Structure 1
């Protein structure tokens, strides 16, 4: 199926033609050009980031043009934006009006970027803003003047095109920052719980769990009575989650981590994990702990292990090392990748409508995001600022404001 939100979500906000015409008449003129952040990989093995002046796109039939007020800097955006370059060696150049940052890309990484070489790419999966123009169609025109959260693929610019079916009209009183992260993190967290149910599991494990996404997932699981085992890497991250009421928190920096994880898994009966780390031994530790939690201490020996399936889905790459598996978890196990877009593509329209409606209803509670820094397009190319958001540090969340 096509990746769209349910039609009734847009239809609910559809306006009569007279009101659509009145809104169109009050729209300010859209400039012919705009500023946009661009990412380029050169044949010489260099990342080139720039703020370029480009033509403002015009919405064709069935599309809207959003004046972007805010767009989050998510890990999924950084993969495209930074192309795994070594930003510790980033160098600034260009002018104050047209800044440029360059950074080297290793030869091993370049082999995976062949299709990108020489292509200047727009960046930014999601954002929020006001619909200022619409192509001819009732769904598009109904959004004129509305503040929407949207998915557009080029939200790191002053204007961005979006499909009405990929727009969420914000509730009255919601700010641009409230709606900026209304897509990726909320639907990822909900998708994890849906995957758990669809695959017959009854509890979850989540790594890097003190992130904005992890905090959302905790609120969902508490509301839905889903056992959730949180894995973090530092004591202060563990405290964040405990302050939010998390029941199971395991700190991998503690010497008792593996024993703590087995105890939490045994109590939670969690056999499905979502891992944001991706490299090193953590996947192996989770699978081994799941097996130890499943098999009673007095169980007879079996070289094949338990027949309970244990699954880890890797959805991030905070650690770029290879995944190391030290197998003490039998044969009933799986490790795979998980991404939001394929999950949504195989979700039927009714279920997708239910998920999107929950996001709309709980936008400022369950799905609230908190930002530590607000930056302009030019500030995004300040080398020190870039190096900070590239770290993806827990407790730091950047919000790009293209109109600043």
Structure 2
């Protein structure tokens, strides 16, 4: 069934669509379902987009899967509407209190074709656009036109699907480095899609970058892409080579995608040792501030700090949305413009596979995606059968 509203939509529009939802139940279960939703008609400054590509970013997986134990997954429902259920450890439930028994929409960004447009933005009808605004794991998404960017000529839906979270985060790292008075930076899990983008940005902008990876094959990947300083944290001489790379670049700010464990601690130590080489001894350590921002949770364990790197250091969280709020609409528009102009070069993304909703809800596939392996990224196409 479809409806037509000539004043706003200008074309036939389905009244229903499928949307992927994630629910944490009060009895300690994660439930993933495909729900039928009523598609809102667009207001004057809104559009309806048929979603054709939306990525599974780590932040999306955090909301989609939470801390569920995926080894307990079972599938119920029907072949057309599978229902995935997994147990959540009792110890994790208190941190989820705000979302218990709430059906959560998922998906930060995506791309698709505008199939309906409000009267003030009717010129967008039929255009391919990238979108940022949440709830993208759906077949049809109604949202403000201001949250869409027309794709440049020659760009595919896969290109446009990831033109916000990773590109803007990578640019935000460099902007933060400059704003806080640092001259070089360190990045972990650096062989990821985001890490490869950051490497290309730094090469283009002349910013010294220390890339920390987890294997020699990842190191070779970045070196082949022009990276000058790549350190393998699985190597026996990791601490020494990290200190040398930080000394060569003068890096005093780091962005850490790992989160748990001792990697942030190791980075602060390497910065302090490098700074202390040319400074007189002080029991309070160097006077140069060293900063680590944690922006990911590839390791969900505790962040371990021994605090033996002087007193001039800081560690905190880093998220894209607060950064964009800080720089304001003009600053965000400047960054978006650069992403659009370099979408197929600097900000190109690569995907391991494209899956349908039903393929995503297959336990074997979902387990593979949930590993969040560096360099692996999956794309959902809600239009697939």
TM-score higher than 0.5 here? yes
Aligned match of 1:102 in 63, 74, 85? Answer: 85
Query: What SS is found at the alignment partner of 1:149?
Result: strand
Aligned match of 1:261 in 242, 247, 259? Answer: 242
Supply the distance in 2 between the matched residues of 1:59 and 1:201 (Cα, whole angstroms). 45
Query: What SS is found at the alignment partner of 1:213?
Result: helix
- Judge conservation of contact 2:39–2:142 (CA < 8 Å) in 1: no
Q: Which residue is 1:188 aligned to?
A: 169
Q: Which residue is 2:123 aligned to?
A: 142
Supply the distance in 1 between the matched residues of 2:116 and 2:146 (Cα, whole angstroms). 15
- Judge conservation of contact 1:152–1:161 (CA < 8 Å) in 2: no
Query: What SS is found at the alignment partner of 1:102?
Result: strand
Shift in Å, 1:296: 1.4
Q: Which residue is 2:134 aligned to?
A: 153
TM-score of the two chains, using structure 2 as the length reference: 0.96
Supply the distance in 2 between the matched residues of 1:355 and 1:53 (Cα, whole angstroms). 36
Q: Which residue is 1:59 aligned to?
A: 42
Supply the distance in 2 between the matched residues of 1:186 and 1:323 (Cα, whole angstroms). 26
Aligned match of 1:342 in 307, 322, 326? Answer: 322
Supply the distance in 2 between the matched residues of 1:190 and 1:131 (Cα, whole angstroms). 27
Q: Which residue is 1:179 aligned to?
A: 160
Supply the distance in 1 between the matched residues of 2:8 and 2:76 (Cα, whole angstroms). 43
* Cα distance change on mapping 1:110 and 1:22 into 2, 3 Å: closer
Q: Which residue is 2:283 aligned to?
A: 303
Query: What SS is found at the alignment partner of 2:343?
Result: coil
Whether 1:83 and 2:66 are equivalent positions in the alignment is: yes
Aligned match of 2:98 in 109, 112, 115? Answer: 115
Cα shift readout 1:4-60 (whole Å, capped 9, x = no counterpart): xxxxxxxxxxxxxxxxx99965x4x22111111110110000000011222122222
Cα shift readout 1:294-347 (whole Å, capped 9, x = no counterpart): 1116x4321100000000000001111111112221000000000000000111
Name whichever structure is richer in strand by fraction: 2
- Judge conservation of contact 2:109–2:132 (CA < 8 Å) in 1: yes
Kindly report which structure 2 residues correspond to 1:22-61, keeping only aligned pairs within 5 A, or say none. 25=10, 27=11, 29-61=12-44
Q: Which residue is 1:13 aligned to?
A: none
Aligned match of 1:331 in 311, 315, 326? Answer: 311
Q: Which residue is 1:363 aligned to?
A: 343
Supply the distance in 1 between the matched residues of 2:195 and 2:285 (Cα, whole angstroms). 31
Whether 1:387 and 2:367 are equivalent positions in the alignment is: yes
Aligned match of 1:201 in 174, 182, 189? Answer: 182
- Judge conservation of contact 1:276–1:316 (CA < 8 Å) in 2: yes
Supply the distance in 1 between the matched residues of 2:251 and 2:134 (Cα, whole angstroms). 35
Cα shift readout 1:183-232 (whole Å, capped 9, x = no counterpart): 00000000000000110000010000000000000000000000000011
Query: What SS is found at the alignment partner of 1:342?
Result: helix
Q: Which residue is 1:223 aligned to?
A: 204
Supply the distance in 2 between the matched residues of 1:267 and 1:82 (Cα, whole angstroms). 41
Query: What SS is found at the alignment partner of 2:71?
Result: helix
- Judge conservation of contact 2:7–2:119 (CA < 8 Å) in 1: no
- Judge conservation of contact 1:23–1:144 (CA < 8 Å) in 2: no
Shift in Å, 1:349: 2.9
Unaligned runs of 5+ in 2: 1-5
Number of residues of Structure 1 aligned to a counterpart in Structure 2: 379
Aligned match of 1:241 in 209, 212, 222? Answer: 222
TM-score of the two chains, using structure 1 as the length reference: 0.91
Supply the distance in 1 between the matched residues of 2:372 and 2:35 (Cα, whole angstroms). 25
Shift in Å, 1:396: 1.6
Q: Which residue is 1:3 aligned to?
A: none
